[in-house]
Amino acid sequence: MDAVSKTSPTTATLKVGDDSWELPILSGTIGPDVVDIGKLYGQTGMFTYDPGFTSTASCESQITYIDGDAGVLLYRGYPIEQLAENGDFLETCYLLLYGELPTAAQKADFDYRVTRHTMVHEQMSRFFHGFRRDAHPMAVLVASVGAMSAFYHDSTDISDPQQRMIASIRMIAKMPTLAAMAYKYSIGQPFVYPKNDLDYASNFLRMCFSVPCEEYKANPVLSRAIDRIFILHADHEQNASTSTVRLAGSSGANPFACIAAGIACLWGPAHGGANEAALKMLGEIGSVDRIPEYIKRAKDKNDPFRLMGFGHRVYKNYDPRAKIMQKTCHEVLGELGIKDDPLLDIAVELERIALQDEYFVERKLYPNIDFYSGITLRALGFPTAMFTVLFALARTVGWIGQWKEMIEDPGQRIGRPRQLYTGAVQRDYTSIARRK
């Protein structure tokens, strides 16, 4: 990634008819420059128009950098490959929140603080019992995280840095507990309390898979795998759910309500719901010899079918997380002695064919993080409906870190986009008697 050359122009000229305006160009440390249009409406009486925000930088941030063409993802400047290989998820959480890798003492203190916030208020367990057992776990998670605003009033004053940090720690610490409770509730098993002598990932797996009738022994290979999966999903610049959290937070809403809004947005199949949809798609394809039929459907403009787990708004190269996800998938299947998983065979063959097909090559459609995560999570024992819950669990630190960055930005204002109006011009009311 080349630093922006100092000879770049500092203003852009907008010409409309005989008028022209100079707009400032701002440069970051790396990545594209931006044209500052903050005063455009006041100067020109015009808005910019960018539905889907394909060319819009909504904020300044120092947390995560993506180079979509090069397939690069940095958390506070550190490549995702190095963090996933060398650190653990709570180290990544510390890095995203504080901006630097922790010293040994800082890491021990952070682990201690998170570990001692893992229990949820006992009343919350009754909250779960209001749901049908077959409620989608994402519906339960959206509701229970939103309900945290009703239980943790002492960390909802966003003007207090201390309360902002406590709310951040609480979110990171309690998400595994709430996620595990949503899973246990869906299978009719009793909730399992967290155990403070376990690491973050092992604690989560134990809360999901242990039962009162027998001891649960965490498998270190599987714990390491789920911990790495959390690192891969931790943050991703201004994606749809993070932008939702920022917009909700810009009104001054409390952090728990903002995270609940992010969870709701992540649920969509075009976003975090794609891991659940990708596994369902592989199941629907059913066998390698049916792949050409589905490739044809994915290319057919009249068919709404898309290859789930493929394509990305930013990555026009291989998603670096997908490569690590694929490696983790093979590790988990190997550890569990799963020699041939038919869905993995379909996924590998589907990827091979798609990456040679002109339609996908032309549009730079590569596997994204969701393509291999479903196979891995299913092998770990999670039902499909839990896949996006795990994504939300991991992404909570990214959401809360971006929320904190926004709240602590002195220039922060409520987000309020405008529109291109193409509806009716003003007209007068007619009584119902006179309507034809």
Binding interface with ligand SDX (CB under 6 A): 236, 239, 270-272, 274, 298, 306-314, 363, 365, 368-370
Neighbours of 339 (CB within 10 A): 7
Q: Which residues pair with 26 in a beta bridge?
A: 34
To ligand SDX, the closest distance from the beta carbon of 398 in angstroms equals 8
- Find where tokens 């819950």 sit: 389
From the list 88, 136, 312, 341, the catalytic residue is 312
To ligand SDX, the closest distance from the beta carbon of 294 in angstroms equals 10
**Is 117 part of the annotated catalytic residue set?**
no
Closer by beta carbon to ligand SDX, 170 or else 236: 236
For the chain, the farthest-separated pair of C-alpha atoms sits apart, in whole angstroms, at 81
User: Minimal CB distance to ligand SDX: which residue?
Assistant: 311
Q: How far apart are CA 392 and CA 138, in angstroms?
A: 9
To ligand SDX, the closest distance from the beta carbon of 222 in angstroms equals 23
Closer by beta carbon to ligand SDX, 147 or else 281: 281
To ligand SDX, the closest distance from the beta carbon of 242 in angstroms equals 7
Closer by beta carbon to ligand SDX, 61 or else 239: 239
Closer by beta carbon to ligand SDX, 3 or else 270: 270
Phi–psi pair at 366, nearest 5 degrees: -120, 165
End-to-end CA, the chain: 64
Residues in the chain: 436
Per DSSP, the three-state class of 13 is strand
Burial class for 92, CB neighbours closer than 10 Å (0-12, 13-18, 19+): buried
To ligand SDX, the closest distance from the beta carbon of 137 in angstroms equals 18
Closer by beta carbon to ligand SDX, 183 or else 371: 371
CB neighbour list of residue 92: distance below 8 Å, 6 or more residues apart: 75, 83, 230, 231, 234, 397
Closer by beta carbon to ligand SDX, 199 or else 276: 276
Closer by beta carbon to ligand SDX, 103 or else 356: 356
Residue whose C-alpha is closest to residue 175's, from 383, 389, 344: 389
Per DSSP, the three-state class of 385 is helix
From the list 88, 199, 319, 370, the catalytic residue is 370
Phi–psi pair at 65, nearest 5 degrees: -125, 130
**Is 370 part of the annotated catalytic residue set?**
yes
Which DSSP letter does residue 286 get? -
Q: How far apart are CA 55 and CA 313, in angstroms?
A: 11
Q: How far apart are CA 395 and CA 356, in angstroms?
A: 32
Contact between 23 and 36 (Cβ < 8 Å) = yes
To ligand SDX, the closest distance from the beta carbon of 272 in angstroms equals 6
To ligand SDX, the closest distance from the beta carbon of 307 in angstroms equals 4
Residue whose C-alpha is closest to residue 114's, from 207, 198, 237: 198
Catalytic residues: 312, 370
